[in-house]
């Protein structure tokens, strides 16, 4: 049997980080088993589903490296098939037409509310003769759900969950206007897509009983279900904007690497001993649903940021340079030509050691692309005393005499410090201020070398 999973988001305008984790688990499970991972856009709510909203999901998945193995299935295109199955159930006596008016249904709900019962359909058309149908009402089709016994789901995360069938009413599968209900559409689509494992948020657990009843009525084998706990904020409440970023593209904007986000999401609610750093390849090799916990997980932004720093230091310098240039592109005060690109690339090994996010990295690299005069942070300006400026003037010939390699620059700075009776820091700090406009940067020798002879000496000359 080919293992086939799907991610089935509703296009609401963002890809929530919880949805991203659901996609990741579906992806990893299918890859682990050499199966297929599919995407279904659940766009039956036409009012809310726009092309732009779908694009946000596709972009988010692509960024995370979780694009599906086949073009997405759009649920809205399958309405005729959903109706066909509803009619097949009707023909088989597994469903029936219900001519209840909206007013009757409202009265039923009120009655239930008054008696403190959950609202449910009382089955009044289950056995009634269609010849009694009122004129002018378009009938809905309802499932003739079993009334005795239990519906049992052997969930791969939650364990065995069951409900007495007497608790479930006869749900509508096709509305009076011929449109399918959501629960029905999902079952028909999962069946037709030959989904073997439905991995989704545990907010869908109660839907599962009703969905299983549709499978049973059709004589279809249901897939295996795995309901994974939701992601909460640090305070235990459902994760929302007030906790921080929630949409995948927001994490991208804030400078997180997709592989760090995936690693973090994997570890959030799935355990493999104490290992924290699990890359994509290892995740595919190790992932199993047995490792998914049942308790809600809590989003910890500090932990994600830490992990991001780890991945940043391991990331390829060319790639980081490209990203930094893109992030700096909007800043009008910079000159972002090939010279700046080469400087940023040259200093990247030192820059990435200090950064936790790509935003930090871009901020730290900006000085390399800034034309003279550099903006000065107050702390840097304070270092450039008249005495320091005189020292910098004396330093220029010593630096100029080198080949401007990191090693030669380091030696020249040390010799200059010794010869003038200064500590290395007393030379390096004003020099750093002159070169970068700040008090922090990678090693001063590497910073000089990345700027290159002409630019470095010009920056000093502008201040000395």
The residue ranges that bind ligand GLU (CB under 6 A) are 8-10, 42, 186, 200, 204
- What sign results for the dihedral spanned by CA atoms 59, 60, 64, 68? negative
Please check whether residue 299 is in contact with residue 232, taking contact to mean a CB–CB distance below 8 angstroms. yes
To the nearest whole angstrom, how small is the minimum distance from the Cβ of residue 304 to ligand GLU? Answer: 23
Please check whether residue 383 is in contact with residue 440, taking contact to mean a CB–CB distance below 8 angstroms. no
97 or 204: CB nearest ligand GLU: 204
Residue 177 CA: distances (Å) to CA of 106, 107, 137, 139: 18, 21, 10, 8
CA distance 20 to 27: 10
9 or 72: CB nearest ligand GLU: 9
CA distance 374 to 433: 10
To the nearest whole angstrom, how small is the minimum distance from the Cβ of residue 367 to ligand GLU? Answer: 45
To the nearest whole angstrom, how small is the minimum distance from the Cβ of residue 239 to ligand GLU? Answer: 14
* Structure-block tokens of residue 64: 């995370």
Q: Nearest 5°: phi and psi at 405?
A: -85, 155
CA distance 395 to 223: 74
- Of 188, 169, 72, the closest CA to residue 126 belongs to 169
To the nearest whole angstrom, how small is the minimum distance from the Cβ of residue 38 to ligand GLU? Answer: 12
8 or 188: CB nearest ligand GLU: 8
CA distance 26 to 199: 6
Residue 103 CA: distances (Å) to CA of 108, 138, 172, 335: 9, 14, 16, 68
187 or 427: CB nearest ligand GLU: 187
17 or 448: CB nearest ligand GLU: 17
Residue nearest to ligand GLU (CB): 200
- Of 198, 213, 186, the closest CA to residue 81 belongs to 186
Q: Identify the active-site residue in 241, 352, 379, 423.
A: 241
241 is a catalytic site residue: yes
To the nearest whole angstrom, how small is the minimum distance from the Cβ of residue 15 to ligand GLU? Answer: 10
Which residues carry out catalysis?
241
């Amino acid at each position: 049997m080919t293992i086939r999973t799907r991610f089935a988001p509703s296009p609401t305008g963002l890809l929530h980080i919880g949805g991203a984790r659901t996609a990741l688990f579906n992806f990893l499970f299918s890859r682990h088993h050499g199966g297929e991972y599919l995407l279904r856009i659940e766009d039956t709510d036409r009012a809310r589903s726009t092309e732009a909203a779908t694009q946000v999901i596709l972009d988010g998945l692509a960024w995370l490296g979780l694009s599906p193995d086949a073009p997405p299935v759009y649920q809205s295109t399958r309405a005729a098939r959903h109706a066909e199955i509803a009619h097949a159930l009707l023909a088989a006596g597994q469903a029936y037409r219900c001519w209840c008016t909206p007013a009757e249904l409202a009265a039923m709900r009120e009655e239930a509310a008054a008696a403190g019962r959950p609202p449910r359909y009382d089955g009044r058309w289950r056995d009634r003769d269609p010849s009694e149908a009122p004129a002018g009402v378009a009938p809905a089709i309802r499932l003739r759900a079993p009334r005795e016994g239990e519906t049992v789901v052997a969930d791969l995360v939650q364990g065995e969950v069951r409900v007495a069938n007497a608790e479930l009413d006869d749900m509508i599968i096709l509305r009076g206007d011929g449109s399918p209900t959501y629960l029905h559409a999902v079952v028909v689509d999962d069946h037709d897509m030959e989904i073997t494992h439905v991995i989704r948020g545990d907010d869908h657990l109660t839907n599962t009983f009703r969905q299983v009843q549709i499978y049973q009525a059709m004589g279809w084998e249901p897939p295996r279900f795995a309901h994974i706990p939701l992601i909460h904020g640090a305070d235990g409440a459902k994760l929302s904007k007030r906790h921080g970023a929630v949409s995948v593209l927001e994490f991208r904007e804030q400078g997180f690497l997709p592989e760090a986000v995936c690693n973090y999401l994997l570890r959030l609610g799935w355990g493999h001993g104490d290992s924290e750093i699990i890359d994509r390849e290892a995740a595919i090799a190790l992932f199993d649903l047995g490792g998914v916990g049942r308790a809600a997980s809590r989003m910890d932004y500090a932990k994600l940021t830490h992990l991001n720093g780890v991945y940043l230091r391991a990331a390829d310098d060319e790639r980081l340079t490209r990203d930094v240039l893109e992030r700096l592109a909007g800043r009008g005060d910079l000159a972002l030509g090939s010279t700046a690109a080469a400087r940023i690339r040259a200093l990247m090994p030192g820059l990435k050691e200090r950064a936790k996010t790509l935003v930090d990295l871009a901020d730290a690299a900006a000085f390399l692309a800034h034309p003279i005069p550099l903006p000065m942070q107050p702390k840097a300006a304070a270092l450039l005393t008249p005495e320091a400026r005189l020292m910098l003037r004396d330093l220029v010939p010593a630096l100029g005499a080198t080949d401007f390699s990191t090693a030669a620059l380091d030696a020249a700075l040390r010799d200059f410090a010794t010869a003038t009776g200064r500590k290395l820091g007393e030379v390096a700090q004003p020099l750093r201020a002159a070169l970068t406009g700040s008090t922090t940067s990678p090693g001063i020798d590497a910073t000089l070398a990345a700027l290159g002879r002409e630019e470095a000496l010009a920056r000093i000359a502008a201040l000395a």
